[in-house]
Structure 1
């Protein structure tokens, strides 16, 4: 019977020694890697990378808007920044431009007509317009 208790005691001691020794090695390795790692190079990270995405920006990204519009350059339709420069962010302009998104139209920016988007709700269209007008 003493051998049975002795074997259990020895195995337990080995187990605890192995666990305790491993955590010390891990702590030593973690502190060594923390001290030796160079500073992160953030030169390729956008300054707005941590900025939260607005609902309007998300809606535009999920729609077909970027087929004809880009943020800074004219494609088929005007650049979003050009729209923001032309229209002050007033409730009347937000409402007017939201209707333009839903109903489509032409004449304000050239001969090419903007296709209607009847499946976009008025609230979503207003969120899109608010995002566009914030790009000044």
Structure 2
């Protein structure tokens, strides 16, 4: 392999690493939103607590058609229980109203777990 080929290979590897790191950053935990809306009062990342874990939610809904929209609406409005007996509390009971953009951010993150 000559120097030009080596440089091209190295550039390609660096490009892939940058793209991968941008994907990870795009899906980093939205900690401020999670804290603001008290998500961790009922959920954890990887084990059921008072509600299903974020990983369980992701496993159930990640590939389901229209799940993202349904989950965003449930997050914004509250809703009936789909897991056991505890329903999603009303927004007023978990930190106040949530914008469609914030609901989208949270649900995209949950579905990436």
TM-score range, shorter chain: 0.5 to 0.7
Moved over 3 A (4+): 51-56
1:95 aligns with 2:95: no
Change in Cα spacing, 1:124 to 1:64, as seen in structure 2 (3 Å) is: same
Q: How many residues align?
A: 85
Which runs of 5 or more residues in structure 2 are unaligned?
Answer: 1-23
Aligned equivalents of 1:60, 1:53: Cα separation in 2? 16
* TM-score of the two chains, using structure 2 as the length reference: 0.65
Q: Is contact 2:80-2:88 (8 Å) kept?
A: yes
Residue range with higher mean Cα deviation, 57-66 or 123-132: 57-66
Which structure has more relative contact order (CA 8 Å, sep 6+)? It is 2
How far apart are 1:77 and its partner, in Å? 0.7
- The answer for the alignment partner of 2:87 in structure 1 is 113
Question: How well do the aligned residues superpose, as a CA RMSD in angstroms?
Answer: 2.2
